[in-house]
Amino acid sequence: MIIGYVYDRQKNLIGQIFNVFGFECTIKLNDISTGELTIMNEHMDDILNILKENNRIKIMENNDGTENTLIEGYIRGIEATLKNTVIKIEDYLSFLDDKILYTAINFTGQVDVLLQTILDQINAREDTGLVLDCSVTDTITKQYAKGDSFFSVLKDLRENNYEFIVRDGTLYFRDTIGTDRSLINNEYREFMRDVNSPLDRTIRDAKMVMDIKQMCNCCIGKDGTTYGSYEDADSITDFGRVERSFTNSGNIQKATQNYVLERKDSIREFDISPNVSNFFYCDLGDIVRVYINSGNDLMFYDGTLKVIEKSYTAGEMGKVTFKLSKNKVKVQELNEKLKEISARVKSLELK
């Protein structure tokens, strides 16, 4: 059973949502998570007074009296038809995309100090209820413009191979998120489909995606009028020159090297639907064991992969999908491609 808990901006519980007709969510590592909760209109009277943009919301799955969180964030918007109403939910990373810097930042110091300073400034204007848990103490030099969003700062810092996520009101920023569940112990997690062992399959369906557009083995990094460059000879031998440029601030040479090292290999992702639809089987950032021998050599895989995204669709035939990758970089999705194209068009218009 799916239950929604709605809170005001001060985190006071103001109501619950039952009689859920449909629910789906996609939660992501290092990116904004989204969800949609559908209610038939005949059940709307009891909750009309709590449905307001920016109210906080937590969606739970109740299984035999035990509740687990599917997604937590805020109400981004509401879409109503003559038959039903859809509550659109985004997590607190989206919330931080709407929080901006009121002064320009020219910073040299530790990553944790920078993030805590920005979050303190945001909470001083309006208490978000968010706290920071940052284990990254590397020294950096960064410049950010007045009006940049906090989320854009997190994305910029991520180019140095860090990872971040918001859970239970805490923004975690670390070298790596998740648990290594590929070792044989009580936390071991495995996805397996072997054409030679049909009775041992734990994978119901799987899809593999490769996309060179997210690869890079030759890069120029730009920080104002300062440039860095880096090339990976082995990757160039395997794939030819895949050239990119990107903009970052701080130690641009190190950032450029990290950019290439994270993208020099084939960006290969697996969407895996397990036999048992358990959304909580593994979590974002976890390292899991994967063995796929389907008779298609292109899809053959025997090794470990990182959970970078999870999707859940409720219902009698509920579906759970885990997106797994060997790289921290995701294959670019359609909406991300459209954003990139839009940014290029705006750049051309300015010229």
Neighbours of 232 (CB within 10 A): 20
State residue 78 phi and psi, 5-degree precision: -135, 135
Strands (E) in 200-286, as ranges, are 203-210, 218-223, 226-231, 243-247, 268-274
Mean pLDDT confidence for 18-37: 96
**pLDDT at residue number 331:** 56
Mean pLDDT confidence for 284-296: 94
Look up the domain containing 112 and give its range.
99-174
Alpha helices (runs of H) in the chain, residue ranges in sequence order: 92-97, 111-125, 150-158, 233-239, 252-263, 334-350
Residue 240 and residue 182 in one domain: no
- Assess whether pLDDT exceeds 70 at residue 342: no
> Considering only CA atoms, which of 211, 166, 209, 212 is closest in space to residue 30?
166
- Assess whether pLDDT exceeds 70 at residue 349: no
Q: For the chain, what's the residue count?
A: 351
The domain boundary, picked from 124, 156, 174, lies at 174
Residue 232 and residue 272 in one domain: no
Residue 200 and residue 332 in one domain: yes
Residue 228 and residue 273 in one domain: no
Residue 47 and residue 192 in one domain: no
Residue 135 and residue 112 in one domain: yes
Residue 83 and residue 124 in one domain: no
Number of domains in the chain: 4
Residue 226 and residue 305 in one domain: no
State residue 191 phi and psi, 5-degree precision: -115, 125
- Assess whether pLDDT exceeds 50 at residue 199: yes
- Assess whether pLDDT exceeds 70 at residue 151: yes
Mean pLDDT confidence for 168-182: 95
Q: Answer whether 118's CB lies under 8 Å from 137's CB.
A: no
Cβ neighbours of residue 166 closer than 8 Å, sequence gap 6 or more: 72, 91, 92, 93, 96, 130, 172
Residue 33 and residue 123 in one domain: no
DSSP letter assigned to residue 10: T
Q: Give the percent of the chain with pLDDT over 90.
A: 73
- Assess whether pLDDT exceeds 90 at residue 315: no
pTM of the model: 0.85
The domain boundary, picked from 90, 107, 127, lies at 90
Residue 8 and residue 75 in one domain: yes
The domain boundary, picked from 90, 112, 144, lies at 90
63 or 134: whose pLDDT is higher?
134
Residue 183 and residue 302 in one domain: yes
